[in-house]
Amino acid sequence: VILFMEKNFSKIVALFDLDGVILDTEGQYTELWDSIGIDFLGKKDFGFSIKGQTLVNIFETHFKDKSKHPEINQRLKDFEVNMNLPFVKGSKEFVLDLRKKGIKTAIVTSSSSNKMESVYKKIPDFKSMFDKILTAEMFAKGKPNPDCYLLGAKVFDAKIEDCVVFEDSFHGLQAGRSAKMKVVGLSTTNPKEKIIDKETKLQISTVQGMVQRILYNDGDRMPAVTDFDLVIIDEAHRGYI
């Protein structure tokens, strides 16, 4: 996927969602929140509806009865301590390749700092993969609000046009688009067809082949890729990522 025609890699910032983009964990969260939805709200498929949102947003929108919060918090805490944390195929290698070229990288996640402490314990070199890690406590409004990605640009003192967002959830994709950044949608959580057909003001243009390449025009195109094997660094065209 060709995102930038820019030789000065040091000005580029890659902003990554965590679950479903770097770590292959969305399936586990879906099961957890589906069970919470049934137990506390009597709703099926609840997990899908809250993808990408912070816990604060979820509580404010769906659990106005605060007496339920401690039990849900504990359930989430126990789950995150014991969950498996496999990488999305190729994600680690992709991030490290970007860093070798001087591209700044950051995690922008709706997860809490407590959850990230569990990640650091299970993956000791995780912190060293990224220049910054932004968690839910750092922004007032969660996805689909663009605040989190705007903060991502701010901490690097970067221009919006030099930032690219990697997302899998509809709320996250909307946040990136609302921030006016370039967005790559990964079909790790939602089918590619649903990402492309999502009702947004996006014009999708793809070229099918062994490698998908999308050339952005003022940020108005969003590719959907299966995994990071389709997001390549083109050595033949320095300045492309």
For 171-234, give the DSSP string. Answer: HHHHHHHHTT-EEEEETTSS-HHHHHHSSSS-------SSS-----STT----EESSGGGS---
Residue 86 has a CB neighbour count (10 Å cut-off) of: 11
State the Cα–Cα distance between residues 192 and 83, nearest whole angstrom.
26
Residue 198's pLDDT is what?
52
Q: What is the mean pLDDT of each run of 10 residues along the chain (241 residues)?
A: 58 92 90 93 90 85 93 91 90 87 93 92 96 94 93 96 88 90 81 60 29 33 49 34 34
One-letter amino acid at 81 equals V
pLDDT at 241: 34
Which of these, 131, 106, 133, lies nearest to 119 by C-alpha position?
133
Predicted pLDDT of residue 224: 52
Beta strand 132-134 with 224-225: parallel, antiparallel or unpaired? unpaired
The predicted pLDDT at position 54 comes to 83
Look at residue 15 and give its three-state secondary structure. strand
List CB contacts of 212: < 8 A, sequence separation 6 or more.
1, 206, 223, 225, 230
User: Over the stretch 192-235, which tens digit does the pLDDT of each residue have?
Assistant: 777 765 533 332 333 222 223 332 333 444 455 555 543 433 33
223 is written with which tokens?
A: 């590719």
